[in-house]
Amino acid sequence: MDNHTTAVSRAHATLKRIDADPTRAVWIELRDASAILAEAQAVDERVTTGEPLPLAGLTVAVKNNIDVEGIRTTAAHPNFGAVASADSAAVARLREAGAIIIGSTNMDQFATGLVGTRSPFGALESATHSGRIAGGSSSGSAVATARNLVDIALGTDTAGSGRVPAALNGIVGIKCTRGLIPASGVVPASRTYDCVTVFARDVATAARAAAVLIGPNTADPLSRTWSLDAPLAAPPTPTVAVPRAEDLTSLDAERVEAFEAAARRLEASGARLVTVDISGLLEAAKLLYGGAIAAERAAAYGEFLASHPEGANPIVASIAAGASRHNAVDLVKDTERLDQARAEARRLLKETHALLIPTAPMHPTLAEVEADPVATNTRMGTFTNFMNLLDLCGVAVPAASTKTGGFGVTVVARAFEDQVALDLAAILTGESSPPRLGGGTPLAVFGAHLSGEPLNGQLTDRGATLVGPIATTESYRMVELPGDVPKPGVAPAPQGEGARINGELWMLPPSAWGPLLADVRVPLALGPVELDTGAVVTGFLSTNMDGTDITSVGDWRAHRRSQRTA
């Protein structure tokens, strides 16, 4: 929130846009305007006191299978659920960060569907392509974001519900590694594989929200914390896998061209493209609905739908009823098949940093879905159904507007490599580096490890990310050390003889510190460095200061430039 925009003014503007918007089927329940404005006023007061609020004043829509205190959680069934007595973990974290909850959005009933038409509260059409579906199951959240009714929205994703609607409405959808965002307070569709997701109109805003949402929660036994070796950035020259032509036969010619253009944008940014066979991933995707794993849907809501046929979507009810036919032996066999598929996915992506795939193969009209609802919905999950099953993360971004609707691509990465997917997605949308999602330990560098310098690869190759420029207090010396690789030595100076030394602050994954220490050669060492901000961080120091004194320059790059000029 900038200095000229208050949370109250943003809330007023949001309410005005919603009042003027004709798409009433977006919402299942809006909060009372007075409660929204009171919450916004409280955010402004918190900002005034200096409280850091990363999402101050941003307005939020929440899918109606996620608890919002005071709103009935129906999962789009008129007779299901009760008024939530407390926020879900995700909503509570958004409020704590200063976001303003506006209301609860429409969805495919019980989060079962990728079309956005399986709701007694009304079918939704795309915000960007009239007459075509919005995609589901997080249809209302995606449309609310795309129509600029809110800044961000929460969805859920088991088969692609946080990605397909993003593609069909021209927005960004982040599906983090399963469990990084806790699902406590969420009506399950498939408990083991459900993810809470974020929609926004740009990668940076979506990443800001995701960073707030990430973190374990004791109420969700499947929630996870960052892996110790989670990279904090994409490398400067990543290797990106793309599917073979025969894996893209579900796309029409215009979408193939749009996909290839997206791949070329990554290549032009420095990525190396490699073609891989993803047929095994596409085959594994069939297990989500075609195997015993579908029994999780029967367990989640099958009994309720069987006893409450009124208000039930017949397709959703039939999926739950059909899923109950599986037995325990079926589940054991399919779990083993999934284990094998995960191992294959790890082998496939072992030598790459990400996989670029289409998000959805087509953008059907509402009439096309009505004519063949099951087959059309199945096709929509072609490139999405496998991701949660195989423990992958992804960021969906818009790629093109075609003659037959919207088209998007998804940057897929291994579990806990979410930041890599975000960084590459930002390249596709033309944004600067998105915010960091979290994790890492700071390291101060002053010479050969700076950006563009000879040893910087020791950081970037291990998933480190640049935070920005720094300077020490005025109590350090700098000398030029002898050796094959030009580098400085930095160390505390005797009283009154030091100066401020410029450098960079990097964040390293915990797993990178051991290998980095193994690479450090005397006289360099790691030790505490006091910055001019008052912070003390680990940084490169020297145990030997016998060299040409360049303290007065105070900047290694400036010293090198002066040498080249001379």
In angstroms, the CA 126 to CA 128 distance is 5
Tokens of 58: 């941003």
Catalytic residues: 63, 137, 161
Evaluate whether 500 touches 478 at the Cβ level (below 8 Å).
Answer: no
Evaluate whether 356 touches 337 at the Cβ level (below 8 Å).
Answer: no
What are 411-451's pLDDT values in tens digits? 999 999 999 999 999 999 999 878 899 888 999 999 999 99
Other CB atoms within a 10 A radius of the CB of residue 260 amount to: 13
Q: What is the pLDDT of residue 377?
A: 96
- Single-letter residue type at 71: I
In angstroms, the CA 451 to CA 464 distance is 11
In angstroms, the CA 102 to CA 472 distance is 45
Q: How far apart are the first and last CA of the chain?
A: 47
Are β-strands 487-492 and 476-481 bridged in parallel, bridged antiparallel, or unpaired? antiparallel
Q: What is the pLDDT of residue 530?
A: 97
Longest dimension (CA), the chain: 86
What is 340-391 written as a DSSP string? Answer: HHHHHHHHHHTT-SEEEEES-S---BHHHHHHSHHHHHHHHTTTTTHHHHTT
Tokens of 230: 């989670």
Average pLDDT along the chain, 566 residues, taken 10 residues at a time: 78 97 94 98 97 97 98 97 98 98 98 97 97 98 98 98 98 98 97 97 98 96 94 94 98 98 98 97 91 91 92 92 88 93 92 97 98 96 97 98 98 97 97 86 96 94 94 97 91 93 96 93 95 96 94 95 83
Q: What is the pLDDT of residue 416?
A: 96
7-281+337-429: which CATH number, 3.40.50.2000, 3.40.50.300, 3.90.1010.10, 3.90.1300.10? 3.90.1300.10
Evaluate whether 183 touches 93 at the Cβ level (below 8 Å).
Answer: no
Residue with tokens 């997605």: 425
Residue with tokens 């598929």: 341
What are 360-414's pLDDT values in tens digits? 999 999 999 999 999 999 999 999 999 999 999 999 999 999 999 999 999 999 9
Report helix, strand or coil for 83: strand
In sequence order, which residues have a C-beta less than 8 Å from that of residue 329 and are 6 or more positions away? none
Tokens of 470: 């720094």
What is 402-471 written as a DSSP string? Answer: ETTEEEEEEEEEETT-HHHHHHHHHHHHT--PPPP-S--EEEEE-STTSTTSTTTHHHHTTT-EEEEEEE
Q: What is the pLDDT of residue 439?
A: 81
Distance of CA 473 to the CA centre of its chain: 37
Other CB atoms within a 10 A radius of the CB of residue 78 amount to: 15
CATH superfamily of 441-565: Gamma-glutamyl cyclotransferase-like (3.10.490.10)
In angstroms, the CA 508 to CA 419 distance is 13
Under the phi-then-psi rule, with left for phi > 0, alpha for psi from -120 to 50, and beta for the rest, what region is 439? left
Evaluate whether 539 touches 520 at the Cβ level (below 8 Å).
Answer: no
Report helix, strand or coil for 8: helix
527: enclosing H helix or E strand: strand 524-530
Q: What is the pLDDT of residue 483?
A: 85
Q: What is the pLDDT of residue 434?
A: 83
Q: What is the pLDDT of residue 257?
A: 98
Domain ranges in the chain are 7-281+337-429, 441-565
Does the fold of domain 441-565 match that of domain 7-281+337-429?
no
Q: What is the pLDDT of residue 306?
A: 92
- Cis peptide leading into residue 523 (ω within 30°): yes
Tokens of 282: 């596409």
What are 75-116's pLDDT values in tens digits? 999 999 999 999 999 999 999 999 999 999 999 999 999 999
In angstroms, the CA 485 to CA 128 distance is 55
Evaluate whether 53 touches 47 at the Cβ level (below 8 Å).
Answer: yes
- Cis peptide leading into residue 139 (ω within 30°): no
Q: What is the pLDDT of residue 23?
A: 86
